[in-house]
A and B are shown apart, each in its own frame.
Chain A
C-alpha cells in the first residue's frame, strides 16, 4: 500500500499509530503519517474522517498525553503540551477560520504574540522593516499598516503565512486554505506554496479541492473513518482525481436505511435563477444562478463539500435568512411567491432544520415542550395567550410518536443526547405542518441507532406528500435516502442525478469541479 520507494529523502515528520479517543468515540485509530522534508503532503478524506483531529494532535491543540502513539519530528519524539510548544519547534498551523484581528494592522497581526522588543518596548521600526520583507516573500503588495479588515480573505491568508514565516516555520500546515478564496487568489496561494517548497519549507495541506491537490501535492495520505488508508506518491503512482476519490469513499455502507417506496407526485416547489451575495463581502456570490425544484413526496438531496454553498442556498430560500438577496424567483404550487422573512417562509409552508443545532437550532435554556411549539405558537394559543395544556399535549404526542428518550416533556433540551435533541427539533418543524421541509445535516453528531430512526421520520414525511430537501456531507446518507440529488460546487449547482444513476464516485466528481457544460 505504502509506496514510499524513495528512501533517500529524509523524513521530517512521522506520526506513528496515533489513536485519539473522545469519551465514547474513537476519532483516530492507529493513524500513520510520514512526511518527507521539503515536500507538499496532502491529507484527503471526507468531512469527519479525522483530518483536522490529526492536525490538532500534531500542533499540540490536543496535548501530549491525551492521545496514544508517537510524534517523531526531526528524528526526535516530541511531546507538545500546547500550540506554543509546537510553534517553537517550527510547526505552524493555519486554520480555516483565520486567527487575525480585524481591527489591527497587517504588521501588528504578523507580530502578535511575538513582538520585536528593545528593552521591553516594542520596536515598531524593526517590525515595519521585517514585515515589509515578509510581505514581499509572500507576494503581498500592501502597506503593513493597513488594517486587516480592509483587505480581502485571499490577502488575509497571505498575512497568515507571513506570520508563520516570521516564526521561522519548518512545517506549515494549511487547513482548507482555499475554501474561502476565489480562483485567482487560490492560484496565487498555490503558487506561493510551491515557492515555499523551493525554499525548503515542508507543507501539509488539507483540502477538498482535488484538482488543486493534484496540481501541487507530492504525496497524498488518505484518511477514512479515523484510519489512515493509504499514502500515494503522486508522480510515481500516476494519481488522478478519480484515484483519490476511490480512496476517500471506498467503504461499504455502514448505516442502513428503512425500506421506503417513494410516492412521487407533481412539482410543487421551484426556485429559478437564484442569486445571493455574501453578507459582508460586496462582490462575492454565495449562490450563483441556481435552479432547482422539488416534487411532492420526493426526498431531494443536496450534495456538496463544506463551504460549497448548500446551507447558504437553503437559508437564502428560507425567508432570506442568509446573505443579500439579489435576484431569483420562487414558485410554490405554480404561483410565484416572495419570502421576505422567516415568518413569511413559515407561513408559506417551509421549514428549515439547521445544521448547527446548538447555536442556531435550539434555545438550550428551554425545555422540550416549549421548544416543540416554538415555531408555531399561534396553533397553541388563543388571543395570544398560550394554552399550557395544549402545549403539553402536543409535546407529549410528538415525544411518543418520534420516540424521544426523555423522562418528560419538561426536561431541558440541553440535557438530551444529540439524537433526541434532533427529534425535538424535527417535532418543532413537523408541528408547523410544512409542505417543504429542508433538513441541513440532519444526522450530524448523532449515533447510528438514532440515525436510522431519523431516516424513518424523513421518509414518513415524504409519504405524507411533503417535499423534503436533505443537505448532507455524508454521501452514503444521501444515496440511501434521496430520490434525486443536486450537486453544488462553489455556490453553483453543477448537476442533478436520479437515485439510480448516482454513485459516490460521480457525485464526488461533480462536487469537486466546476460545471463542464455551461
Chain B
C-alpha cells in the first residue's frame, strides 16, 4: 500500500482512479478486440473530450475553494457564439477572435466572481443564474441559429501538429513532443530526489523511482507512438496540445505558487486562512473568474471542432466537468483535489464513454453506467473516511508496506471534548 502510494502520490482515491483508468483501458482493449488503442480512436478520444478536460481544470480549482460552477456550459456556448459573430461580422482574423473570446470570459467571470466573493451569494445560486442568463444570451445574440466559423479558426478545435522535417514515417513533431515529455519526467524525478537528499528528507528507494519512471515514460512513449502513426494528416491534436499546456500551467499554479496555496487554504478552512492574512474574497473572485475564462476557451475549441456555433452547444458540460473532478479525488467540502486527478477522472469518463460506444452500448445504458461510476467512486472515498482508512484497495494491499499508521489522536479529541464541555 505504502509502496504503491509512493509510486503514484496523492490520496487513495486518486491513485485508485489511476488503477481504474488503466484497468478500464485494458478491459476495453480486450473487449473491443484491440479497437480501443488504435491511433484513430485515441486521437478521437482526445479531440472529443479536450474541452471537458479543460473545464475540469478550472472546476477543480472552484471546488477546492469550496464552490461549484454550474454555468460553464452556458458560458462556453455564449463565448463561442460571440466569437463566431465577431469573426463573421467584423471580419477580424481568428487569433483576434480568440483574444476577444478570452476577454469576454474575463468579463463574465468578473460578473460571477463579484456576486460570489463580494456580495456573498453562494456560487451555486450565482452560477445557476449564470446558466440561465448565458444560455439565453447565446440564443439571443445568435438568434438560435448556427453560425459557421472560417477554416483557420477551426484549427484550434480540430487541427493537428504539422508534418515537418525528414520523412521518418512518423509525425516528427509528435515524436519530439513525446521525447521531451519523457525527458521532463525523468529530469524532474532526478531533481526531486537530489533535493530531498540535500534537505535530509526521506528519499524514496531507488526501485520506487525507477519503476515509476519506467511506467510513466512507457505510457508517454506508447501514446506518442499512437499519435505519431495515425492516418496521414493526423497527429497529436491541437486541442490536446492546449490541454497539455494548461495542465502544466495549472498544475504548477495549484501546487507551487502563493495563490495556489491560498486556494487550498480558503477551501480547507476559510476562517483559519483569513486569520493568517489570506484575502479570501480576492481568492474566491479569481477562482470564479478563471473558471469562466477556461469555459470561454473550451467553448471556442468546441466551435472550432464542430465548425460552427449553435444554440445548444455545451449543454450538460458542467455536469461532466464536475463529475470528472469528484471522480478525480476532490472533496465536496473543499480543500482537497488536484488538477492531475481531475484529468484522470475526466479520462475515466471519456474512456468509459468511448469504450461503451465501441461496444455498441446505447446512450441510455452509457448514462446509467457513468452515473453509477460517479456514485461508486465517491462512495468509495466516503467509506474510506468513515472506516478509518480501511479502504477496499487498502485491504487488498494490506500485506504490502508498513500497514496503517493512521491512528486518530485520541487524547487530543477527548481533551477537546472536555475543554468544550466545560
Contact = CB atoms under 8 A, between A and B. Distances in A.
A pairs with B: yes
Interface stretch (A18-26, A212-220, A288-296, A462-470): A18-26
Contacts of B269: 359-360, 362-365
Contacts of B414: 22-25
Given A23-B414, A352-B275, A363-B265, A377 B258 contact: yes
A342 B417 CA distance: 29
A362 B271 CA distance: 9
A351 B169 CA distance: 65
Given A346-B277, A416-B409, A366 B419 contact: no
A341 B274 CA distance: 9
Interface stretch (A63-71, A134-142, A382-390, A502-510): A382-390
Contact of B276 (A347, A358, A418, A428): A428
A381 B199 contact: no
A444 B272 contact: no
Interface string A386-409: 101100110010000000000010
B339 interface: no
B199 A363 contact: no
A358 B271 CA distance: 10
Contact of A365 (B195, B336, B416): B336
A373 B81 CA distance: 45
A378 B422 CA distance: 39
A329 interface: no
Contacts of B202: 408, 410
B261 interface: yes
Given A50-B422, A358-B416, A417-B409, A389 B275 contact: no
Contacts of B201: 392, 396, 408, 410
B413 to A, nearest CB: 8
Contacts of A345: 277
Contacts of A377: 258, 261-262
Contacts of A360: 269, 271-272, 275
Interface string B400-419: 00000011111110111111
A345 B195 CA distance: 35
A18 B336 CA distance: 43
A76 interface: no
Nearest to A318: B275
B261 A53 contact: no
B385 to A, nearest CB: 12
A346 B272 CA distance: 14
Instruction: Please indicate which of the listed interface residues B198, B202, B265, B412 has the most CB atoms of chain A within 10 Å of its own CB.
Output: B412
Contact of B274 (A25, A321, A347): A321
Contact of B421 (A52, A363, A384, A410): A52
B258 A22 contact: no
Interface in A43-67: 47-53, 56
Given A377-B258, A445-B415, A363 B264 contact: yes
A374 interface: yes
Contacts of A388: 195, 256
Interface string B326-337: 000000000110
A386 B258 contact: yes
A447 interface: yes
B40 interface: no
Interface string B229-273: 000000000000000000000000000111111101100110111
A374 B271 contact: no
Contacts of A50: 422
Contact of B257 (A342, A386, A389, A421): A386
A53 B421 contact: yes
Interface string B178-218: 00000000000000000100111110000000000000000
B44 interface: no
B279 interface: yes
Nearest to B414: A22
Contacts of A194: none
A484 B260 CA distance: 42
B276 A374 contact: yes
Interface string A23-50: 1110100000000000000000001111
Interface string B124-145: 0000000000000000000000
Contacts of A49: 422
Given A359-B271, A445-B419, A446-B415, A384 B258 contact: yes
Interface string A322-361: 0000000000000000000111011100001010001111
A342 B422 contact: no
Instruction: Please indicate which of the listed interface residues A47, A342, A363, A418 has the most CB atoms of chain B within 10 Å of its own CB.
Output: A363
Contact of A56 (B195, B258, B406, B421): B421
Interface string B304-323: 00000000000000000000
Contacts of B335: 363, 365
A363 B336 contact: no
Contacts of A378: 258
Given A365-B335, A386-B261, A447 B411 contact: yes
A370 interface: yes
Contact of A445 (B268, B408, B416): B416
B422 A47 contact: yes
Instruction: Please indicate which of the listed interface residues A343, A374, A381, A386 has the most CB atoms of chain B within 10 Å of its own CB.
Output: A374
A393 B201 CA distance: 9
Contacts of A190: none
A272 interface: no
6 contacts: A354-B272, A359-B269, A374-B265, A386-B256, A388-B195, A415-B408
Given A25-B415, A416-B412, 8 more contacts: A23-B414, A53-B418, A342-B277, A346-B277, A365-B336, A388-B256, A415-B407, A417-B409
